[in-house]
Structure 1
Amino acid sequence: MKKLTLATVLLLTTTLVAFAQQSKIIAHRGAWKHTHAPQNSIASLQEAIKQKVWGSEFDVHLTKDDILVVNHDNDFYGLDIATSTYEELLTKKHPNGESIPTAEEYLKEGLKQKNTKLIYELKTNRLGVERTLQAVQQSYDLVKRLKAKDMVEFIAFSYEACLKFRELDKKAKIHYLSSDKAPQEIYNAQLSGIDYHLSVFKKNNDWIKQAKALKLKTNVWTVNSTEDMQFFIDRKIDYITTDEPESLYKLLNP
């Protein structure tokens, strides 16, 4: 085998560093907008995996009878999730014929591959903190039972939920979604990163740099215009969550 020249080694090193610093794509609720798959459906997850995005985000609620299900809104086609049983929710269907997925079904589908991370957003239960924290425990137990800890990262608007996840696991990846905590506070709480709306980062334009200095991960949501995508690419944010993963891919790979 020929020896690599110093110039070749430097070129390879520079390329690898640039790739590592490039913003990664997270498909918001799966890849649904251009594929016409329902948001948060198994089909939208499959489409995101086909696109080889870095991660696919999904939202999880706790039903009245303690079943974790995947859906964004508090209701599933008119049925309030927090006060409905899983069997009641099964009376409704997505337009493609899918039933509401359980978190276990969704994770098992995602675990059929090893490239696209599963970004598990635990929704704040509208019945109170106690139910939210119960959902944290069940979520963590589920991920642990499925041996999915290396593939799953947790995100939540509830600060109490984030702290509970950290209490349960000192190494789990946990990112805070609300905008009321500066990077230093997140670092002090031993969370993994900040995951804020694009308007928050634009208002606090030094928070990305602060977070990076503290070795916190940074993610921005929900970025759908090419102008905003480029804004955050230029600032070397770690992850960009978008309803337009196809457009972001083209921008990152001209």
Structure 2
Amino acid sequence: MAQAPITLSNFSYTPQNLVVGKVMPVSKGAGTPQVKLSKESARLFELSKDKTLKVKKAAASTPQSQWLEVVLEAAGKQYSFRIVKDEFIKNKVIAHRGAWKNTGAPENSIGALQHAIRLGCTGSEFDVHMSVDSVLFVNHDHDIKGLHIEKTPAAELAKVKLPNGESLPTLEAYLNAGLNQNKTRLILEIKPSAISKERGQALAQKVVEMVQRQQAQGWVDYISFDYAILKKVLELEPSAHVSYLNGEKTPTQLAQDQMYGFDYHQSVVQKNPDWIAEAHRLHLTVNVWTVNDPNIMDWLLERNADFITTNEPELLLQKVNSPKAK
């Protein structure tokens, strides 16, 4: 799939704020080509001279629409984007590998994602690897049932069954399941390659291309332990929300590289509690993993961490929804 020369600075709207964002070039320093709305899109959207895209009031009031499609014409070609109605839940709960521990669903399964959505989590985290023939699969470890994902053809991986009878999900299938709603964000972890840094870069490229092909930009946030992978994501999708997992970089360093925030292990944040306030001063988000201890949950809630990733989303939801927390 050829990289589109244009993208958007944002992919969502609310009934209170119909401005989506600006049409912008993908390549840094490139000028934005002349852009216009296709005929059908002109019925739903307005595009101002400064390339600001806005949803028309009549289109925004359609109750059944979780998203609207905009088609932009540039240099004689058409490019399609899905603009999601932002009804995403605004709590702090990220279900780690989906909601699995208390539901019986396998980790990283589509079933676990669906449980996280039903629970009302603000996000559901999942992990992505690439087969030897460049097909993307959702699984935490590099191996599954004795198969090393990076060294195994997709046809073999497609035969793998999870304990609930699901096939090992492809990223395409997982995204399709997540796009059926607009309540829970999809927190996509790009796993560093066990083979080479170059393969990690190829994985990042394939992941972003798949998200773009599925028009899922408005649903997906990216995380990774590999900083170069996150930089590659931003090269390909400059407005993407990307957060770093490894823990050694200060909020100032992350802000300099246009990261969305940090997503650090609880031990790192407890050792550097001032990083929470520093991140907020720099307009970065704070996510902390993987927190299952109720006392550490309370400690982070008191310090206003934006998100907490947990295997116990039910417990954390009780805490954030309690009268005391409001």
TM-score norm. by structure 2 comes to 0.70
Residue identity in the other structure for 1:189: D
Unmatched tracts of structure 2, length 5 or more: 1-89
1:163 pairs with 2:220? no
Instruction: Give the corresponding residue for 2:8.
Output: none
Secondary structure (helix, strand or coil) at the match of 2:93 reads: strand
Instruction: Give the corresponding residue for 2:29.
Output: none
8 Å Cα contact 2:91-2:122 kept in structure 1: no
Instruction: Give the corresponding residue for 1:246.
Output: 314
1:177 pairs with 2:245? yes
Deviation at 1:23, TM superposition (A): 5.4
Residue identity in the other structure for 2:113: L
Deviation at 1:129, TM superposition (A): 0.8
Find the aligned partners of 2:99 and 2:176 in 1 and give their Cα distance.
18
Q: 5 Å matches for 1:14-163?
A: 24-163=92-231
Secondary structure (helix, strand or coil) at the match of 1:215 reads: coil
Moved over 4 A (4+): none
Task: Give per-residue Cα distances to partners, 1:163-213, cap 9 Å, x unaligned.
Answer: 111111221100011111111100011111100000000011111111011
Q: Which has the higher helix share?
A: 1
> What CA RMSD, in Å, does the superposition of the two structures yield over aligned residues?
1.0
Find the aligned partners of 1:206 and 1:190 in 2 and give their Cα distance.
20
Residue identity in the other structure for 1:83: K
Instruction: Decide which of 270, 279, 283 is 1:215's aligned counterpart.
Output: 283
Residue identity in the other structure for 1:125: S
Q: Which has the higher strand share?
A: 2
Deviation at 1:132, TM superposition (A): 0.7
Greater relative contact order (Cα < 8 A, sep 6+): 1
Residue identity in the other structure for 1:101: P
Deviation at 1:91, TM superposition (A): 3.2
Residue identity in the other structure for 2:132: K
Secondary structure (helix, strand or coil) at the match of 1:82 reads: helix
TM-score norm. by structure 1 comes to 0.90
8 Å Cα contact 2:94-2:309 kept in structure 1: yes
Instruction: Decide which of 170, 192, 199 is 2:267's aligned counterpart.
Output: 199
8 Å Cα contact 2:91-2:121 kept in structure 1: no
Secondary structure (helix, strand or coil) at the match of 2:165 reads: coil
Secondary structure (helix, strand or coil) at the match of 1:223 reads: coil
Moved more, 221-230 or 162-171: 162-171
Instruction: Give the corresponding residue for 2:5.
Output: none
Task: Give per-residue Cα distances to partners, 1:134-164, cap 9 Å, x unaligned.
Answer: 1111111111111111110000000000111
Residue identity in the other structure for 1:91: K
Instruction: Give the corresponding residue for 2:257.
Output: 189
